[in-house]
C-alpha cells in the first residue's frame, strides 16, 4: 500500500478483494518460535521478550505524544536473524495461484518481530486498477502504490476504533438512534443498528445493487452494476445517509448477513459527528502518521 513507509509490517503489499482477484500474503514472524530454533531470538538471547514488546508498544508511545520513541532492545535483530528460512513451498503456491488467474501480481512479505524485512518474493505482473476489475495494468512490484478496495473496510474499522471507541465517545453497541437521533430517531427502521452490526454486515442495509438504483450516494462508484454512474457527486455525506435511512431493510438488525458497502458510509458520518474529523483525517492521526505511511490516504 505504501512503499515509503519505514514501518513495513503495516504495509499492505497486495489488495485483498472480495472478487477474489488479488491475494494478500503477509506474515509477522517471531524469531523465538521453536520452528526457527531456540537460539534465534529477536532480542539476541534476552529471554524477557523485550524486543517483541518494544515493537508492539511503538504505536502506543506515538499516541502518548512520544514521537521520538525508538526500539530499545531491537538493535540486535539483524545479527540474530535466522539464516535458513524455508519458503520454497510458499513460493510454489504463489506461482500456481498467479498462473491460475492470468499472471496476477502477488507479493509475499515476511517481517521479524521488530518490524524488519526478512524475506520478500514477487510473482506475476498484472493488477486491477478499477473497482470490479474491469481494467488492469501490468508491472506489479512490491513497491506499487495500489488501491486496497474492500480491504479499506478493515482500515476504516480500525480507525473508528481508535478515534471513537477507545476514547469512549461511543461503544460498538451504541444504537444509531442514540448516536444520530436526527437521522435514525423517531421509529426509523435502522434505529437499533449498532456500529458492530455495520462492521459485521448484519445491520440490515441492502447491498450495492439495490443502493445503486434507489440512492444518489454512489454515482461516482465505477462498478459494472452501477447504471447511474457519473463523474460528479450528487449528494454530500450527510445527505447520502439520510437517503439510506429511508431504504427498506433486507432483515432486522443482527438477523441476517448482507454485504453492504453503503452501511460503512454511516461509520464515516459517525466519525465526523463524534470525533470532529473526517475519516481521512482520523486515519492520518491514528494510523498513517504514526506508521509513517507517507504515500497512503483514506478518502471518503
Lowest mean pLDDT among 44-53, 56-65, 125-134: 44-53
- Distance in angstroms (rounded) separating the CA atoms of residues 132 and 138: 17
pLDDT surpasses 70 at 196: yes
Grid cell at residue 254: 443482527
Question: pLDDT (tens digit, 9 = 90+) per residue, 235-258?
Answer: 888 998 998 999 999 999 999 999
Interstrand relation of 106-112 and 25-29 (parallel, antiparallel or unpaired): parallel
pLDDT surpasses 50 at 72: no
With a pLDDT cut of 70, the percent of the chain lying above it is 71
Average pLDDT on 68-89 reads 55
- Distance in angstroms (rounded) separating the CA atoms of residues 143 and 129: 15
Average pLDDT on 11-25 reads 29
Check residue 64 and give its pLDDT. 63
pLDDT surpasses 60 at 197: yes
Rank 87-91, 137-141, 275-279 by mean pLDDT and report only the highest: 275-279
Check residue 46 and give its pLDDT. 39
- Given 3-state DSSP classes, what are the helix, strand and coil percentages for the chain, each rounded to the nearest 5? 35, 10, 55
- Distance in angstroms (rounded) separating the CA atoms of residues 125 and 138: 5
220 and 229 Cβ atoms separated by less than 8 Å: yes
Give the number of other CB atoms < 10 A from CB of residue 284. Answer: 18
Q: Give me the count of residues in the chain.
A: 300
Q: pTM of the entire structure? A: 0.66
pLDDT surpasses 80 at 262: yes
Q: Which residue has the higher pLDDT, 147 or 72?
A: 147
pLDDT surpasses 90 at 123: yes
Grid cell at residue 6: 519505514
**What is the residue-wise DSSP string for 70-98?**
--SS-TTHHHH--S----HHHHHHHHHHH
Dihedral sign for Cα 34, 40, 45, 50, please: negative
Check residue 60 and give its pLDDT. 57
First and final CA of the chain: distance in angstroms?
17
111 and 9 Cβ atoms separated by less than 8 Å: yes
Mean pLDDT (the chain) is: 75
Average pLDDT on 230-238 reads 82
Average pLDDT on 192-203 reads 96
Amino acid at each position: 500500500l505504501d512503499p515509503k513507509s519505514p514501518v513495513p509490517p503495516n504495509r499492505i503489499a497486495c489488495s485483498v478483494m472480495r472478487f477474489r482477484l488479488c491475494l494478500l500474503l503477509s506474515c509477522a514472524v517471531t524469531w523465538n518460535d521453536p520452528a526457527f530454533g531456540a537460539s534465534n531470538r529477536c532480542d539476541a538471547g534476552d529471554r524477557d521478550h523485550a524486543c517483541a514488546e518494544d515493537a508492539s508498544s511503538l504505536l502506543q508511545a506515538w499516541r502518548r505524544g512520544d514521537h521520538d520513541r525508538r526500539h530499545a532492545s531491537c538493535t540486535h535483530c539483524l545479527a540474530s536473524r535466522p539464516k535458513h528460512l524455508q519458503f520454497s513451498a510458499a513460493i510454489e503456491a504463489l506461482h500456481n495461484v498467479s498462473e491460475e488467474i492470468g499472471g496476477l501480481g502477488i507479493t509475499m512479505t515476511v517481517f521479524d518481530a521488530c518490524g524488519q524485512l526478512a524475506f520478500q518474493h514477487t510473482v506475476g505482473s498484472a493488477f486491477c486498477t478499477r473497482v470490479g476489475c474491469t481494467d488492469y495494468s501490468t508491472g506489479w512490484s512490491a513497491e506499487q502504490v495500489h488501491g486496497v478496495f474492500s480491504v479499506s473496510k478493515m482500515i476504516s474499522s480500525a480507525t473508528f476504533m481508535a478515534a471513537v471507541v477507545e476514547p469512549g465517545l461511543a461503544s460498538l453497541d451504541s444504537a444509531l438512534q442514540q448516536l444520530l437521533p436526527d437521522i435514525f430517531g423517531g421509529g426509523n427502521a435502522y434505529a437499533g443498528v449498532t456500529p458492530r452490526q455495520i462492521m459485521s454486515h448484519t445491520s440490515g442495509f441492502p447491498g450495492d445493487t439495490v443502493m445503486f438504483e434507489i440512492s444518489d450516494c454512489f454515482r461516482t462508484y465505477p462498478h459494472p452494476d452501477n447504471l447511474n454512474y457519473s463523474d460528479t457527486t450528487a449528494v454530500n455525506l450527510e445527505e447520502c445517509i439520510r437517503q439510506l435511512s429511508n431504504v427498506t431493510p433486507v432483515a432486522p438488525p443482527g438477523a441476517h448477513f448482507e454485504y453492504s458497502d453503503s452501511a460503512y458510509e454511516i461509520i464515516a458520518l459517525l466519525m465526523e459527528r463524534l470525533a470532529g474529523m473526517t475519516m481521512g483525517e482520523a486515519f492520518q492521526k491514528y494510523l498513517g502518521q504514526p506508521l509513517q505511511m507517507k504515500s497512503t490516504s483514506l478518502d471518503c
